[in-house]
Chain A
Amino acid sequence: MAEHQLEVTVNGRAVTAMVEPRLTLADFLRERLRLTGTHLGCEHGVCGACTVLADGAAIRSCLVFAIQMRGSAVTTVEGLTPEGGGLSDVQEAFRAEHGLQCGFCTPGFVVSVTAWLADHPDPTAEAIREGLSGNLCRCTGYQGIVRAVAAAAAARARREAGHD
């Protein structure tokens, strides 16, 4: 089958590649760009490990074909860290609150939470659980993850209020 030319921005960098249309975005990111921070768990949209941002919206990269991202800006977990290294505020909160154990699901959580907090700056405990429901973790029991989201939200609120 014919390959198609894909022009896409990934983590701020313009990328041009020839792809088979059946190549999923997740496999494109991992196998072609070697951005292996995006993890593949269930590969049918349930686990959330492969979540990335497409033009700012969190999506499952296993449920879109790479070619569909033509002209879009994709951000993976690698693109969330500040320039020059270090951790993003969400990553920092996951570390501080023990929001991970084995870490397999963590990139998906971090990307999802990054998008979700932008829309829910002051979430209730219940809303956080609802917001996290699209990502599965088999180690932590979620308590640390829920705390991490609350901590990240609180830290952002403090920063915006000019404290800290």
Chain B
Amino acid sequence: MYNTVLSHAVAMEGQLVKAAPFSYHAPETLDESLALLAEFGDEAKVLAGGQSLVPVLALRLSRFEHLIDLNRIPALRYVTGTDGVTRVGAMTTQAAIGGSEEVRRRVPLLADATAYIGHFQIRNRGTIGGSLSHADPGAEYPAVAVALDADIVLASVRGTRTVGATEFFTGSFTTAAGPDEVLTEVRFAHRPPDGCAVVELARRHGDFAIAGVACAVELDSAERVQSLRLGLFGVAPVPVRAAGAEQVARGTPAGELDPVAVGHAALAGVSCVSDVHADAGYRERVAAHLAGQAVARAVREAREARHG
């Protein structure tokens, strides 16, 4: 990879540059950025935290005529909670999310997932909007969004629309956002669960996951599973909601829930991907095991919360 970088590097007046040239735009309002996108369409790329996009550009895996940097739009950085809805602005950094009391209290699954993203130096720049838009199959936030039925707000000069997380992710690194649209906000309507957990297997700490699971559980007054939410990542081109396993668990007394069985049910019907890190069969076994672990951990947390 290092040689690739060098062969693409161009020495210009004593300065080394790597990415192909682009026109740089740093709008200070959302409207300005939308106007730029309307003008340039798919010749333009939105730059959020840049923790994935900048290396893609530097390695010339991709090139764009125009880069529209959203980092000068403070209005896109916020966490607000009203009634049942927590709204997170697209340019809110992973570090800000990880440090937010509001997120910890209202969307603890999002807080738990944050610790797995890269390292603190990456989280200082990386954003939730960037994570979701980049749609890396091994990323944590997309699976959290899918597990919690988050709504994703897309804006363009044509107006604003809201897309459910499950519909938003259409393929590996591919989303439902149009070339003139910007992801502006993520809405979590889910009320805080009684227990939640994120577990993953990665080759090194901070890497994208080979397989991972985000899990949230609610218990009813008789301590039966009222709802179980399972989002799998790393296993398929898009984050997977394990609806079958969720259904099986519903109504089961928490003390009788068999996490191993739920874990296996979570992978039923999922066709896992193979790559250089792991083949499909291995991914399936690991993911089933992790799903069981996540369920066990979330249920334990929920019961402990009950019993103090």
Contact = CB atoms under 8 A, between A and B. Distances in A.
Interface of A: 1-2, 4, 20-24, 27-28, 31-32, 42-45, 48, 51, 54, 57-60, 62-65, 67-68, 70, 112, 116, 130-131, 133-134
Given A60-B51, A63-B125, 19 more contacts: A20-B15, A21-B67, A22-B17, A24-B54, A27-B17, A43-B5, A43-B55, A57-B124, A58-B121, A60-B121, A60-B122, A63-B50, A64-B50, A64-B54, A67-B26, A68-B26, A68-B71, A134-B121, A134-B122
Contacts of A133: 119, 205-206
Given A59-B125, A63-B54, A134-B120, A2 B17 contact: no
Nearest to B10: A22
Contacts of A44: 1, 55, 58-59
Given A1-B23, A62-B58, A32 B15 contact: yes
A63 B22 CA distance: 16
B22 A21 contact: yes
User: Of residues B2, B125, B205, which shows the largest number of chain A Cβ atoms within 10 Å of its Cβ?
Assistant: B125
B121 A48 contact: yes
Contacts of A112: 121
B15 A23 contact: yes
Contacts of A43: 2, 5, 18, 55, 58
Contacts of B55: 43-45, 62-63
A112 B121 CA distance: 8
Contacts, number: 101
B69 interface: yes
Interface of B: 1-2, 5, 12, 14-24, 26, 50-51, 54-55, 57-59, 67, 69, 71, 95, 118-122, 124-125, 205-206
A10 to B, nearest CB: 16
B20 A134 contact: no
A68 B19 CA distance: 15
Contacts of A24: 18, 54, 58
Given A44-B59, A68-B69, A68-B71, A58 B120 contact: yes
B94 to A, nearest CB: 12
B126 to A, nearest CB: 9
A134 B206 CA distance: 8
B16 A22 contact: no
Given A31-B14, A44-B55, A63-B50, A22 B125 contact: no
B119 A48 contact: yes
A102 B69 CA distance: 37
A45 B95 contact: no
B18 A63 contact: no
Given A4-B24, A57-B95, A131-B120, A23 B54 contact: no
A59 B126 CA distance: 10
A23 B17 contact: yes
A1 B205 CA distance: 39
Contact of B124 (A2, A48, A58): A58
B51 A22 contact: no
Nearest to A32: B15
A20 B57 CA distance: 14
Question: What 6 A-B pairs are tightest by C-beta distance, nearest first?
Answer: A134-B119, A21-B24, A44-B55, A1-B21, A22-B19, A57-B124
B22 A22 contact: yes
B122 A45 contact: yes
Nearest to A108: B121
A32 B22 CA distance: 20
Given A64-B54, A65-B54, A27 B15 contact: yes
Given A58-B124, A63-B51, A63-B54, A22 B20 contact: yes
